[in-house]
Amino acid sequence: MTHRLNGRTALVTGSTSNIGRAIATALAAEGAHVIVSGRDAGRGEEVVREIRESGGRADFAQAELDGSPEQSRELAERALTLLGGRLDILVNNAGVYPPHTTLSADGDLFDRIFGVNVKAPFFLMQAVTPSMIAAGGGAVINLGSWITTRGVASSPLYSASKGAVETLTRAWAAEFGARGVRVNAISPGVIRPPEIGPDAVFPGEVLMAGSPAGAAGHPDAIAAAAVYLASDDAAFVHGTVLDVDGGRLSVHAAA
């Protein structure tokens, strides 16, 4: 590792598994003191233990990000306390993806998806940016999705919520960039969950047919992009949505 984040501090929401876990681990490997956050304390402590055993710095902050301002503010306060009052990097990764259709969704589902996926990062951003600005700046990375630009016939509320997150990314870049806070997003393509073994069937693989990669990606690919956007290597990058999708959106490689 290059230790591009030595001396930095980071909070990664939803980092007890999958993409969030990979991001937290990668930021720590590059030298950041990382706050791992999520609902499951057991899994969170496991991630912290893995980071520490590899020589990194990490602590766990349990959180139930339901979209209420109070929950976001409480997580921000716990993270800042654990980090000694300074937060340099915020990764808004936590999200929910309950299967549904327009005809099956009800008001509770609508509120849950937009609460976790949109309101929670909004109020967390509101809570942490004043301290980032006071400290001279920071980096915020939001997690979007490839289905914000490709219509799919399932989970329309999830698609809409991630579209909102990507729009907020550009709005926040305009609002906070001049005050030292860079805001960008990553739009993951189809990612194979690590718990699914290499020989097991993963339904998402079919969605990568005809793409240059030809197969689903690994969470580490998203983590590598997060390290880049968090580091000084991306100092001139503001308001972008970085597609990390094996070429799924921009290229059709099939004959």
- Residues known to be catalytic: 158
Separation of alpha carbons 7 and 153, rounded Å: 45
Closest CA to 156 of 94, 99, 93, 92: 99
Alpha carbon of residue 58 to chain centroid: 17
Q: Which residues pair with 191 in a beta bridge?
A: 217
Token pair of 109 as six digits: 């589902």
What is the CB neighbour count within 10 angstroms for residue 152? 11
Separation of alpha carbons 172 and 106, rounded Å: 30
Strands of the 138-143 sheet, one edge to the other:
57-62, 33-38, 9-12, 89-92, 138-143, 181-188, 241-244
SS3 of 40-67? CHHHHHHHHHHHHHCCCEEEEEECCCCC
Closest CA to 169 of 90, 112, 63: 90
Indicate if the alpha-carbon torsion angle 143, 145, 148, 154 is positive or negative.
Answer: negative
